[in-house]
Amino acid sequence: MYRWVEHTGELELEIEGEGPEEVLAEAATALRELLGAGGAPTGPATRRIVTAQAPDRPALLAAFIEELVFLAESESLVPIGLRRVELDEGLARAEVEVARADPPHLVKAVTYHRLEFEPAEHGYRARVVLDV
Amino acid sequence: MSSFEPRQVDEVTWEIPASARSDMRVPARILADAELLGAIREDRSLEQLVNVATLPGIAEAALAMPDIHQGYGFPVGGVAATELPDGVVSPGGVGYDINCGVRLLAAPIAASELAARREALAHEISRAVPAGAGRGGSLNLRGPRLDRVLEEGAAALVRGHGLGTEDDLERTESGGCLAGADPQKVSARARERGGPQLGTLGSGNHFLEIQRVERVLDRLGAEAYGLEEGQVTFLIHSGSRGLGHQVCTDYVRRMDAALGRFGIELPDRQLSCAPISAPEGRDYLAAMAAAANFAWANRQAIAHRIREAIARVLGGDVAERTKQVYDVAHNVAKVEVHAGRRVCVHRKGATRAFPPGSTEIPADYADAGQPVFVPGSMGTASFVLAGRDGSMAKTFGTACHGAGRSLSRTAARKQIGGAELRRDLEARGIAVRAPSNRGLAEEAPLAYKDVDRVVAVAARAGIAAPVARLVPIGVVKG
């Protein structure tokens, strides 16, 4: 589950998941909403392996989202589904279904401001602020 | 709502003392009137400013301009000067859009002479300057040609590609080139993101405006800048695109990983920083300068495309006599000398505002002071200001950069639809070109503070004085 939180200048995303993998999957779904808001995909779905590395779990979430943002900016590919997510020490690897679209609202960067990705009462909770 | 209670120092200065939180090294100082302060206290701006006051080596105070609003790490409208050699430099104190800034061109034609050609001009500019997300720049430089832009800035396009004039360079902050740029410190991904985007406007709050000088407020200043009432001007608001975004991302990560080695503890990871004397600090400043140079080249290319559009609609003579007033950065860190101290001045959503007599500004402007551009929101007035002596005494030579957001993008969309806003603007005689109604609504005037009030505070504080008020007659939205 994810939700966009009011932020005067930027976009703040809060995510909850039963496990850390679900948090990454929800992040991809949120990016699909954000980057796919320009309309339906204009090309067939393809698969990409997205990998991210970082020294800790919150930074790993930021790095994973950055990879999705880079796909959108460099190839106009937006995520439409997540096939498989693997999380290991400092490494995330996901098989992502992507499709060509017209991303209307590109994210400049994924910030470390108030960045969180921690165990919570019912799973995991994360927060990330995107510079738009 | 902020829990900090700033105390009033004078009619437009407020202060949170260094004793307000145990990790503050200096006070946090805010330039605002009571109404602006009320709006500022509604979000996390003051908490973020207090966080800035904890940076190692910060001098005097963490400063907030009257257009401050909540950002990430640093507030937007924040200024921090850190002392060399061992004070820190923080990439988040510059922001992701390194050298986002404003360029103003003045045309030798009155708005009344445009008449029906106003729509055609907006249309032609929107066709000439790629806007919106992603790529589409006609230059698409790579390898050594991109390196030259990173090293030389706007001059690389003027001298290497014939895009503009030497006069443009003279009328650009730092001549359109920050010294010390090193392309080797810019990552491959940054180059990949930015290379194809040179000469593009981008999205978000970036825009081009065709404007009319509604009112001259300082005759001598306006004469120096070549502005007169009724005249058509063109305002360009853009930055370093994906190249700068990636440079900031790369160095926030690198410095975050090195904080332990420097023994630095921070209240927010986005403030990650390194001593200016450390390899991480030096490398960042070299990469940031390269990104700043890319941004000046970007605005140079956009200005050239605008002149080409002017030539097609109004004729080559009008285009040739369309002069650059100035180009200012409002997201940058620069090493400067203030009160005898060498400091690294971080300006995050804040504009350098050097006073008359400064050797850092064009000789033509020596008596008037440095031009400072304060764009309002899309569809409202913008101001040309001139730097004043108070900026050197109070704000490390800095003034405001815009109106400052007061509503989130979501809240703005809830209050007005893009199609409705487009109709409203057109009914007021403003031609609108925007890639999406959603993006248009997010930048609606109601999402911003009152720019007149922001400028009035800057004037009362003595940091900058109003020279001219400009109103839009055409908007090309990014």
DSSP label of B367: T
Using CA of residue B427, residue B429, residue B431, residue B437, what is the dihedral sign?
Answer: negative
Q: Is B176 helix (H, G, I), strand (E, B) or coil?
A: helix
Nearest Cβ partner of A111 from B73, B76, B411? B73
Cα–Cα distance measured from residue B310 to residue B125, given in angstroms and rounded to the nearest whole number: 8
pLDDT in tens, A58-86: 999 999 999 999 998 888 899 988 889 99
pLDDT in tens, B174-207: 999 999 999 999 999 999 999 999 999 987 789 9
pLDDT in tens, A91-101: 999 999 999 88
Of B229, B276, B281, B286, which is closest to residue B254 (Cα–Cα)?
A: B281
Cα–Cα distance measured from residue B131 to residue B408, given in angstroms and rounded to the nearest whole number: 22
Task: Report yes or no: B410 at the A interface, CB cutoff 8 Å.
Answer: yes
Per-residue confidence (pLDDT) for residue B61, from 0 to 100: 98
Per-residue confidence (pLDDT) for residue B136, from 0 to 100: 65
Cα–Cα distance measured from residue B278 to residue B173, given in angstroms and rounded to the nearest whole number: 27
Residues 6+ apart with CB under 8 A from B279: none
Question: Which tokens sit at A92?
Answer: 């995330």
Buried b vs exposed e over B388-423: b needs ≥16 C-beta within 10 Å?
bbbbbebbbbbbbbbbbbbbbbebbbeebebeebbe
Quote the ipTM score: 0.92
Q: Mean pLDDT lowest for which of A106-120, B341-355, B400-414?
A: B400-414
CB-based contact B213:B382 (threshold 8 Å): no
CB-based contact B274:B238 (threshold 8 Å): no
Cα–Cα distance measured from residue B315 to residue B307, given in angstroms and rounded to the nearest whole number: 10
The burial of B308, by beta-carbon neighbours within 10 Å (0-12 exposed, 13-18 middle, 19 or more buried), is given as: middle
Q: How confident is the model at residue A113 (pLDDT cuts 50, 70, 90)?
A: very high
Using CA of residue B314, residue B317, residue B320, residue B321, what is the dihedral sign?
Answer: negative
Task: Report yes or no: B414 at the A interface, CB cutoff 8 Å.
Answer: no
Residue B314's Cα: distance from chain center in Å? 29
* DSSP track, B12-50: TEEEE-GGGSTT-SS-EEEE--HHHHHHHTTSSHHHHHH
| Residue extents of the structural domains in chain A | 2-131
Cα–Cα distance measured from residue B65 to residue B30, given in angstroms and rounded to the nearest whole number: 6
pLDDT in tens, B91-146: 999 999 999 999 999 999 999 999 889 999 999 999 999 886 555 667 889 999 99
Across the interface, whether the CB atoms of B203 and A106 are under 8 A apart is answered: yes
CB-based contact B237:B208 (threshold 8 Å): yes
Cα–Cα distance measured from residue B33 to residue A117, given in angstroms and rounded to the nearest whole number: 39
Cα–Cα distance measured from residue A30 to residue A25, given in angstroms and rounded to the nearest whole number: 9
Which chain A residue's Cα is nearest to B241?
A108
Q: Is B172 helix (H, G, I), strand (E, B) or coil?
A: coil
Q: How confident is the model at residue A104 (pLDDT cuts 50, 70, 90)?
A: low
The Cα of B254 is separated from the nearest Cα of chain A by a number of Å equal to 11
Cα–Cα distance measured from residue B268 to residue A116, given in angstroms and rounded to the nearest whole number: 11
pLDDT in tens, B203-228: 778 999 999 999 999 999 999 999 99
Chain A residue numbers with beta carbons less than 8 Å from the beta carbon of B189 are: 70
Catalytic residues of B: 401
Residues 6+ apart with CB under 8 A from B253: A54, A59, B272
pLDDT in tens, B320-374: 999 999 999 999 999 999 999 999 999 999 999 999 999 999 999 999 999 999 9
Task: Report yes or no: B92 at the A interface, CB cutoff 8 Å.
Answer: yes
Across the interface, whether the CB atoms of A104 and B410 are under 8 A apart is answered: no
Chain B residue numbers with beta carbons less than 8 Å from the beta carbon of A104 are: 132-133, 203, 435-436, 438-439
Per-residue confidence (pLDDT) for residue A38, from 0 to 100: 59
Kindly give the interhelix angle for B279-314 and B143-152, rounded to the nearest 10 degrees.
100
Across the interface, whether the CB atoms of A73 and B133 are under 8 A apart is answered: yes
Q: What is the mean pLDDT of residues A36-55?
A: 85
Edge-to-edge strand list for the sheet holding A91-100: A46-53, A91-100, A77-88
Chain A residue numbers with beta carbons less than 8 Å from the beta carbon of B193 are: 70, 73-74
Cα–Cα distance measured from residue B91 to residue B286, given in angstroms and rounded to the nearest whole number: 12
Cα–Cα distance measured from residue B54 to residue B377, given in angstroms and rounded to the nearest whole number: 32
The Cα of B159 is separated from the nearest Cα of chain A by a number of Å equal to 29
Query: Which residue, among B74, B205, B409, B415, would best test binding to A if mutated, counting the most A CBs under 10 Å from its CB?
Result: B409
User: Above 80 in pLDDT, residue B423?
Assistant: yes
Q: What is the three-state SS of chain A? A: CEEEECCCCCEEEEEEECCHHHHHHHHHHHHHHHHCCCCCCCCCCEEEEEEEECCCHHHHHHHHHHHHHHHHHHHCEEEEEEEEEEEECCEEEEEEEEEECCCCCCCCEECCCCCEEEEECCEEEEEEEEEC
Q: Which residue has the tokens 């390899």?
A: B279
Which chain B residue's Cα is nearest to A58?
B269
Cα–Cα distance measured from residue B388 to residue B458, given in angstroms and rounded to the nearest whole number: 10
Which chain B residue's Cα is nearest to A4?
B410
CATH number (3.90.420.10, 3.30.450.150, 3.55.10.10, 2.160.10.10) of A2-131 reads: 3.55.10.10
Task: Report yes or no: B200 at the A interface, CB cutoff 8 Å.
Answer: no
Chain A residue numbers with beta carbons less than 8 Å from the beta carbon of B100 are: none
Buried b vs exposed e over B350-386: b needs ≥16 C-beta within 10 Å?
bbbbbbbebeebbeebeebbbbbbbbbbbbbbbbbbb
